[in-house]
Amino acid sequence: MNANEIRQKFLDFQVKHGHKVIPPAPLVLENDPTTLFTGSGMQPLLPYLLGQPHPEGTRLTDSQPSMRLQDIEDVGDPRHTTVFEMLGNWSLGDYFKKEQIENFFEFLTKEVGLDPEKIYVTCFIGNDKYGIPKDTEAAEIWQEVFRKAGVEAKIVEIGSAENGDKRGINQGERIFFYDDKENWWSRGGGIETTPLGDPCGPDSEVFYDFGEDKQDVAKYGKSHPASDGARFMEIGNQVFMQYKRKEDGSFEELEHKNVDFGGGLERITAASINSFDVFKISLLAPIIAKLEELSHKKYENNTDEMRIIADHLRGAYLLAAQGLVPSNKAQGYALRRLVRRAVLRALDLGIGQEFLAEILPVIETNYQDLSDDILPGRTHVLEVLTKEEAAFRKTINKGVKELRKLSADQELTGAELFKLQDTYGFPLELSVEEAYKMNIKLSDNYQDEFERALAEQRERSKTASKGMFKGGLSDTGEQTTKYHTACHLLLAALQQEIDPSIAQKGSNLTPERLRFDFNIDHKMTPEELQRVEDRVNAWIEADLPVVYAEYDKDYAFDELHAHGSFRDRYPDRVTVYAIGEGISAPDDEKTMISMEICGGPHVQHTGELGKFKITKEESSSAGVRRIKAVLE
């Protein structure tokens, strides 16, 4: 089976087991200052994992395109990618460990056709300090599942990954207990770094065995599931969210225990064709084939370059197809970086001409099964990205000229090489290569000098962005929740005081401030801003109730006239938040100040917000303005 077939089989399988398919979240999330991109399927579901009812019920499933740029330097090996698709299913206080483990095993062995003998699993060993018991329940369920499949499954305690590297595994061992570094899930990582209020718990990871000959023992130690070697590849993780961290640092059990499952589509597909190289699957192999054609070189001899190009351009395609454009800020800069890194690697392959126009149609064909709701900007991808490629090739030429200027009468230092990268986008490796070609001398310590300059720049950036990515839980901290409600009041005030046709075009919330983008055809005057600010504060002083309820999507839009962007992306059942005097539900026949389709959370009364103060109004993009505001 190819990846598209496995994706559909997974969703059909979950529907057969009572799940509702929900639309995936955009790669760029609104109102989440903690991350640049959606990095997992659970990220948009956090309010529901904390107890808020989901409009579609307690059993949910989706396939979520995700991006993790922290893996960008690892791309080039057989299994790391910056963009991936996460198959997900959730139980919100419904079924728990037994049904989840049995169903996932059935999907892998019956639907995908994996050999049960090649499946290995891990469980949480427990933590005495925090009173978290060993997850013997999950281990025993797994043992019974394997027994029914006729597979020997001994349970063994390994503890740490380091112990595993030394010990390895023995005949018949299949279920392994590891510590919280391997088998505890929270957004902060291990138990000690679990954020306050976060849902968390033990997890059970599932691995596919590609054979002992794939393990580099000299480099990684003996083979075991948590090894960094190539023998075992994680293909799915079942998180049993049964705890929440309290203010005193201890853990208490959640009233409603949840299951959060995520399985990598690319990795499951690789396992289905018994290839430890994910770049051999249907979503990536056609890109590699086109690169071989363009470069007249073989993949086997140029794996690093071709894997990086294939990964980066696939990621760039998905970002651009969701409407993102290259820029020098935040997500737009990440998109620019992906394109530029791909172009540089193409030069390494000897592809000197512009080539994105040859590659992007291949990627488009790979993703033709995804709907326009998921990729609304797909018709503009070719224009957007080929324009960026052409601009970067001009940058490369400009960088060469600057390189010659800097080296006129002296050797080049690492600080000067960093300036070329920071100012002109001319990467270090390209500077060194060009300097070698032009017989330009480099200082003996140019690499150390470059790293020092880079570290200084990172420290400046870190200081400048202090507070921008604070907040721990996305959209659930008390202050961030207040700003979320303030956004609803701000939109209502703009519509009432300035123009009823104003709509939200984006937002970003931190515990320190809100940023709100909206359509308007002019720069707002001081008088207009004052009217909007006064209107919001009047509603805050009135201490209006904030209520919510679930409705069919068409009813929410067509009958209640609730505000919401991207109508087609919402599920059939939606949550509507309303603010108004004396109301008890969004469909009250009373005066409404605000009514929006939203996942929450919000305050219960506007009087909790404090004083609203607009601090800045500026341009965001053509036809879009931006307001920044604080609550005092």
Domain of 605: which CATH number?
3.30.980.10
**CATH code, domain with 201:** 3.30.930.10
Query: What string of DSSP letters covers 415-462?
Result: HHHHHHHHHH---HHHHHHHHHHTT--B-TTHHHHHHHHHHHHHHHHH
pLDDT at residue number 187: 79
Mean pLDDT confidence for 152-165: 95
pLDDT score recorded for residue 48 = 87
Helix, strand, or coil (residue 2): coil
Q: What is the pLDDT of residue 407?
A: 75
Other Cβ atoms closer than 10 A to 333: 13
Residues 392 and 418 in one domain: no
The model's confidence at residue 330, banded by pLDDT at 50, 70 and 90, is confident
| Dihedral class, residue 84 (left if φ above 0, else alpha if ψ from -120 to 50, else beta) | beta
pLDDT average, residue stretch 528-551 = 93
For the ranges 117-126, 322-331, 511-520, the one whose mean pLDDT is highest: 117-126
Let me know whether 389 and 455 are in one domain: no
pTM: 0.76
CB atoms within 10 A of CB 475: 24
Within the chain, how many helices (H) and strands (E) appear?
19, 17
- Length of the chain (residues): 632
The alpha-helical segments, DSSP class H, found in 322-355 are: 330-348
Give per-residue pLDDT as tens, 210-245: 998 888 888 889 999 999 888 999 999 999 999 999
What is the pairing mode between strands 20-21 and 59-67? parallel
253 membership: H or E segment, kind and range = strand 251-264
Residues 488 and 557 in one domain: yes
Of the candidates 275, 337, 261, the residue with the CA atom closest to the CA atom of residue 67: 337
> Based on the domain organization, do 232 and 94 belong to the same domain?
yes
More confident of the two residues 398 and 607: 607
Can you give 202-213 as a three-state secondary structure string?
EEEEEEEECCHH
Asked if residue 291 belongs to a domain, the reply is no
Q: What is the pLDDT of residue 465?
A: 38
Indicate whether 597 belongs to any domain.
yes
pLDDT of residue 30: 64
329-338 — which CB contacts under 8 Å span 24+ positions? 330/36, 331/28, 331/36, 331/37, 334/36, 334/37, 334/69, 336/388, 338/82, 338/312, 338/313
Q: What's the gap between Cα 520 and its chain centre?
A: 30
Please tell me whether residues 623 and 489 are part of one structural domain: yes
Confidence of residue 476 (pLDDT cuts 50, 70, 90): low
Same domain, 328 and 447: no
Between 322 and 207, whose confidence is greater?
A: 207
Q: 166-180, 490-504, 544-558: lowest mean pLDDT where?
A: 544-558
Cα(372)–Cα(376) distance, integer angstroms: 5
Angstrom distance (rounded) from CA 363 to CA 359: 7
Res. 463 pLDDT band, cuts 50 70 90: low
Residues 117 and 253 in one domain: yes
Q: Which two tokens stand for residue 181?
A: 């570094």
Q: Band the pLDDT of 47: cuts 50, 70, 90.
A: confident
Which helix (H) or strand (E) covers residue 14, if one does? helix 3-16
Confidence of residue 481 (pLDDT cuts 50, 70, 90): confident
How many domains are there within the chain? Answer: 4
The answer to the question of residue 31 being in a domain is yes
Output the CA torsion sign for 514, 518, 523, 525. Answer: negative
Same domain, yes or no, for 149 and 210?
Answer: yes
340 and 266 co-located in one domain: no
Alpha helices in 238-280 (DSSP H): 265-272
Distance CA 129, CA 115 (A): 39
Q: What is the residue range of 427's domain?
A: 407-466
Express each pLDDT in 66-113 by its tens digit.
998 877 888 889 888 999 999 999 999 999 999 999 999 999 999 999
